[in-house]
Structure 1
Amino acid sequence: MKDSPIQLDQQVAVPEVRRIGMDRPMVWLRSGWRDMRANPIASVAYGLLFAIAGDFILIFAWRTPYLFTAAVSGFFLIAPLLAGGLYEISRRQSEGQHSTFFDSLACWGRNGESMAMFGLLMAVATFMWERISSVFFALIIPDLAPDLWAFVPNVLLNREYRGLALTWFFIGATLALLVFSVSAVSIPMLIDRRVTAITAMITSLRAVALNIVPMLLWAALVVMLTLAGFATLLFGLIVFMPLLGHASWHAYRDLVK
């Protein structure tokens, strides 16, 4: 079933979005796996880049809890943009074309201004979360030993800080849900169509709003696989991030007419 289009003005029309079933996120993952198997070298190259980015997060932010949490959260915020090449690989695969890593870079030559605008908005969201985390840590734990091993038992599991910790999690979850809603299909759409960043974000919001439960399941799968990648000392990211990138392309094609 399709939702009717919305005409914003004479120049901009938001594309139609479809209703989907609860089974679709798993279908996207299976389709993403097929794309990855069809283009293994280019896909794994992106996986290695994501793993290297994760290594930098661990190396430079491990001993500073607020920077670590902000950096990991920021990883989720900018990952859709960094996965642009994976969307291009899947786009080419849907047209029967195999891709090299260099072929995938062509996505940045199309609609570059709108993609840059979207990237700027994601950078602002990342900066806002870093500042929120900084204030949170400065207020409640100014004298805590600056490492995660002290932070988890002394703050997150400490009843004295439970209220503040829950507030922090609530703010972070709200921001994450908002960012997910505006980015779920935005970058694939910007690569596939000549639309503005605002049009892509509105389309993404409508797609999520029309499919709340399936999209929450999709968001949970994205978070779980990404965290599993970090939990396996980044090795899992080599596979999980390309898989999610390719699957996100299929999510876009499924949701947007």
Structure 2
Amino acid sequence: MEQAYTPPRVRSVGLDAPLRWLAEGWGDMMRVIGPSLFYGALIAAISFMLSKALINSNAAFWALALSCGFVFVAPMLAMGLYEAGRALEAGEKPTLSQMLFVRGALRQDVAYLGLALLLIYLFWGRIAQIVYGLSTFRLHTSVDAFVDFALHTSEGHSMLIAGALIGGVIAFFTYCLVVVSAPMLLDQRANVFAATFTSLRSVSQNFAPLLLWAFIITALLIASAATWFIALVVIFPWLGLASWRAYRDLVEER
């Protein structure tokens, strides 16, 4: 009879670990620079075109809301980078095709995690709409009008504060679920329940380092959005490979 899968042990790391993951992730990206930048450019192009389409459709609010919610789906978009990190660790040279078509991700448990993140993403969009609706009776269709409302009115300030607080709680909960589980699901023995449980234990056991890691990820993604996602060309593969390093540092190999 096949033995049931038991979740692996979680290691404790120091507060300097996130900076080490960034350094190691940068080194990995340099080792596979061409495919990494192509991967990042693909994510950046999709993000830019989606935001541009929303703005051109007079939906500036949705462009902002969905850009802020990018953190909810980013872990699943980085599966190819986790695969690249796994290959580099094994002494292999990952190819672009391996990164774009990850065989290990074509399984039910990965689909379950992806569906959960998509539902959270859609839930965030609805919450953002409610916060916006409670803040004003007007619909600001252009970027200039929306930014002017958000930055120069008391109602806009209230909207930003409420949105940041509620969005922050949802984002951190999502982060706790996926910080380890997304790369862990490349292990064919792991299921979605064991992976998310291990992710939650990792955060609980290393709260300060992983809180710092969350701030670093958020800051880099906000910086990317501020450049109309151009910076994602470098930042997305860098963070994806660093996240693989974080997973390997936090979770003992079985």
TM-score calculated relative to the size of structure 1:
0.89
Q: Which deviates more from structure 2 when the two are superposed, residues 176-185 or residues 56-65?
A: 56-65
Work out whether residues 54 and 62 of structure 2, in 8 Å CA contact, stay in contact via their aligned partners in 1.
yes
Q: Which residue of structure 1 lines up, in the alignment, with residue 122 of structure 2?
A: 127
Correspondence 1:82-161 to 2 at 5 A: 82-105=77-100, 107-110=102-105, 112-161=107-156
1:247 aligns with 2:238: no
Shift of 1:164: 4.7
Q: Once the two structures are aligned, what percentage of the paired residues are identical?
A: 35
Q: CA deviation at 1:82?
A: 0.8
Instruction: Specify the code of the residue in structure 2 equivalent to 1:60.
Output: A
Q: Distance in 2 between matches of 1:197 and 1:105?
A: 22
Match of 2:36 in 1: 43
Q: Of 7, 13, 16, which residue of structure 2 is paired with 1:14? A: 7
The change in CA–CA distance for 1:82 and 1:108 in structure 2 (over 3 A counts) is farther
Q: Which residue of the partner structure matches residue 221 of structure 1? A: 216
Partner of residue 206, structure 1: 201
Q: Give the letter aligned to residue 224 of structure 2.
A: G
Residues matched between the structures, number: 248
Distance 1:81 1:39, change over 3 A: same
Give the Å deviation of 1:13.
2.5
Q: Distance in 2 between matches of 1:127 and 1:221?
A: 24
Counterpart mapping for 1:15-94 below 5 A: 15-62=8-55, 63-94=58-89
Q: Distance in 2 between matches of 1:76 and 1:53?
A: 15
Does 81-90 or 228-237 show the bigger shift?
228-237
Give unpaired runs (5+ residues) of structure 1. 1-9
Distance 1:173 1:109 in 2: 31
Quote how far apart the aligned CAs of 1:21 are.
Answer: 0.5
Deviations 1:56-99 (A, max 9, x none): 23212234243123311332111110110111111000111111
Cα-Cα RMSD: 1.9
Gapped runs of 5+ residues in structure 2? none
Identify the range of structure 1 (70-79 vs 175-184) with the bigger mean alpha-carbon deviation: 70-79
Maintained 8 Å contact 1:118/1:197: yes
Specify which of 183, 187, 194 is matched with residue 182 of structure 2. Answer: 187
Greater RCO between the two (CA within 8 Å, min separation 6)?
2
| Distance in 2 of aligned mates of 1:162 and 1:20 | 38
TM superposition outliers: structure 1 runs of 4+ over 6 Å: none
Distance in 1 (alpha carbons) for counterparts of 2:151 and 2:197: 36
